[in-house]
Amino acid sequence: MEEKIRISFFDAKEYDKDSFNLANTDDMFEIKFFDTKLSEDTYKLAAGSDVVCIFVNDEVNKEVIDGLIQSGVKLIALRCAGYNNVDIEYAFGKIHIVNVPAYSPYAVAEHAMALLLTSIRRIHKAYIRTKDFNFSLNGLTGFDLHGKTIGVVGTGKIGRIFIDICRGFGMHVIAYDKFPAQDSGITYVTLEELWERSDIISFHCPLTDENKHMVNSDTIKKMKKGVVLLNTSRGALIDSEALLEGIKIRQIGAACLDVYEEESDVFFHDFSGHIVADDTLARLISMPNVIVTSHQAFLTKEALTNIADTTCSNIEIFFKEGRCSNEVCYKCTKLGNCKQEHKEKCF
């Protein structure tokens, strides 16, 4: 009987357990689910495992990487696309990393549009009112999306699907991407022009050292007065303090956030009976023109199934064939000179 691959699964939620148990159809994996996040304080839980499976708020720095290696872990399997929480440069040559590059781009793009429509048509406010049998329309005036200019930052799979949705509403779309999609029919502009022309700006790009706090006090000044900001990518793309100030001075008309730069200790937990210590987040949520969802844009049945299936497939292929097409490495992502096309391990 073939020995099972042992997986330590961190930051596990009930929906994770359900989807991964279903994906483990051949009983190939022995999975230990941990509610806690992976960090310097918890990596020892993975001792004896072949793989750690992590999500967006798990912390994988130098100390954690060294600790995992000493514990016998051979693979870090991200069950998400982003990997800004992993020190991939330090990991190179030491431990292999795989991710799920596309689980359901429709889920995220559709959630972004849902947030936008909820905000500009005051649907959330109407819902609360009618629950109290208050059918007044005072203060619920919105605006048409048709004819408005939307700036899309990042035109990967999610960004392009979001663009298609916006075009369906009759919006004028402009976009910025460091690596424009060829022959896409997308109108690309500089970031400066995007800030200046857009009525609405939506972010669909990974977080890097280069674009951290790309929305800050200086760039907010360049935007149209009353601009609506959507962020379903990574929280640190936006300087939260600058966002708060921009809302207070009415430079920013509304903000729809599925991510927040200090979300790791707050999102995915129930604090309804507690006082949240993060003053900035508390103040943002208190604003009448701010909608916050807790990193739920990915959360559809289809996405959860794809995440589980792809993650399990990544792990199986890695241990059977010694390589994986979804490997993430410093050479490929940072230096851009990887020529092997993942036909073998990156190191």
Answer yes or no: do 94 and 109 share one domain: no
Q: Is 288 within a domain?
A: yes
In terms of pTM, does the model score above 0.85? yes
pLDDT, residue 316, reads 95
Answer yes or no: do 94 and 196 share one domain: no
Q: Which residues, 6 or more positions from 173, have their beta carbon under 8 angstroms from its beta carbon?
A: 149, 150, 152, 163, 166, 167, 186, 187
Q: Is the dihedral of CA 286, 145, 169, 160 positive or negative?
A: negative
Which run of H or of E encompasses 7? strand 5-9
pLDDT, residue 2, reads 67
Answer yes or no: do 64 and 193 share one domain: no
CA distances from 246 to 100, 211, 289 (A): 35, 19, 12
In order along its 347 residues, the chain shows pLDDT tens digits of 468 999 999 999 999 999 999 999 888 999 999 999 999 999 999 999 999 999 999 999 999 999 999 999 999 999 998 898 999 999 999 999 999 988 888 999 999 999 999 999 999 999 999 999 999 999 999 999 999 999 999 999 999 999 999 999 999 999 999 999 988 999 999 999 999 999 999 999 999 999 999 999 999 999 999 999 999 999 999 999 999 999 999 999 999 999 999 998 899 888 898 888 899 999 999 999 999 999 999 999 999 999 999 999 999 999 999 889 899 987 776 656 666 566 667 77
Q: What range does the domain containing 67 cover?
A: 5-103+300-335
Q: Is 345 within a domain?
A: no
pLDDT, residue 338, reads 65
Q: Is 342 within a domain?
A: no
Please indicate whether residue 234 is annotated as part of the active site.
Answer: yes
What CATH number is given to the structural domain containing 220? 3.40.50.720
Please indicate whether residue 263 is annotated as part of the active site.
Answer: yes
Answer yes or no: do 72 and 196 share one domain: no
Domain count, the chain: 2
Answer yes or no: do 193 and 271 share one domain: yes
Answer yes or no: do 148 and 281 share one domain: yes
pLDDT, residue 4, reads 94
pLDDT, residue 340, reads 59
Answer yes or no: do 63 and 93 share one domain: yes
Answer yes or no: do 121 and 96 share one domain: no
Q: Is 92 within a domain?
A: yes
Answer yes or no: do 212 and 232 share one domain: yes
Q: Is 79 within a domain?
A: yes
Q: Is 340 within a domain?
A: no
Kindly name the residue from 79, 96, 111, 234 that is annotated as catalytic: 234
Answer yes or no: do 79 and 161 share one domain: no
Answer yes or no: do 304 and 248 share one domain: no
Q: Compute the C-alpha angle 233/235/239, nearest 5°.
A: 130
Kindly name the residue from 59, 79, 160, 263 that is annotated as catalytic: 263
Kindly name the residue from 96, 111, 204, 295 that is annotated as catalytic: 295
Answer yes or no: do 17 and 132 share one domain: no
